[in-house]
Amino acid sequence: MFARERFGFVAVCCGLLLGALGPIPALAGTARLEAVGRMLERNAQELSRYSWKSRTEIRVEGELVQTSLVRASYDRVGMLVETPIPCHAGTAQGSKKLKKRVLAFHEELRALTRSYFDLDPQRIQAALDRAHAWEGQGEQGNLLRVQARGVIRQGDTLDLWIDSATNRPRRLDVLTSLQGEPVRLTAEFAQLKDGPSYAVKTLVETELKEKKMVVRTDSFDHVARN
């Protein structure tokens, strides 16, 4: 279940509208987006020097189907390696048939969402080249909002929110689809002390056989590697 995945966009993205937009926003120019791109690359390089734990819960209609815990890190070629850790999980609910169906669907869902997190540098640059960006966003007017469409699939939307002072990510919001069902992916970012920003919480929301499915992942216990 825990596949090796290419290191990429998860280390460097953020989005989602935070409160009212306020006055007519100022458009950001090419030079501004180039600076963002440089910081995204730097942040990714910094994060690759850490390992951390991730806890994932899968719920359908609010019922817990599976909980998993892994230790994650990037190898020398930039592949994400996740090692399962035994954990005390809540009592899973639902039938074995439901669990089997959910886990099979989750594999596809996981591959789709990782494709947005793990954009290669060329695709990141292509997304920035055709993105729209606005300064002075967020409740305090201290965020840059970058919006791109058709990043992975036709009709998808990616919103990236950047701290205007540091160019580091704050939030990511992706709207896409899987098997004809809408998929919403959000990630909230925090910054390690004197270190990189990382996805502290991610949520994936979709439907499976007309049942609401939510996958939540929390990341913690970051340790710098020599």
Judged on CB neighbours under 10 Å (0-12, 13-18, 19+), 60 is buried
Task: Kindly report, residue by residue over 170-194, the tens digit of the pLDDT.
Answer: 999 999 999 989 999 999 999 999 9
pTM equals 0.81
Location of structure tokens 């806890």 = 55
**Percent of the chain clearing pLDDT 70 (strictly above):** 85
- What would the mean pLDDT of 110-120 be, rounded to a whole number? 82
Q: Could you tell me where the DSSP H helices lie in the chain?
A: 30-47, 96-117, 121-129
Query: What pLDDT score was predicted for residue 114?
Result: 82
3-state secondary structure of 142: coil
Query: What pLDDT score was predicted for residue 10?
Result: 41
What is the distance between the alpha carbons of residues 22 and 6, in angstroms, rounded to a whole number? Answer: 38
Domains of the chain: 5-224 (2.50.20)
Lowest mean pLDDT among 13-27, 39-53, 99-113: 13-27
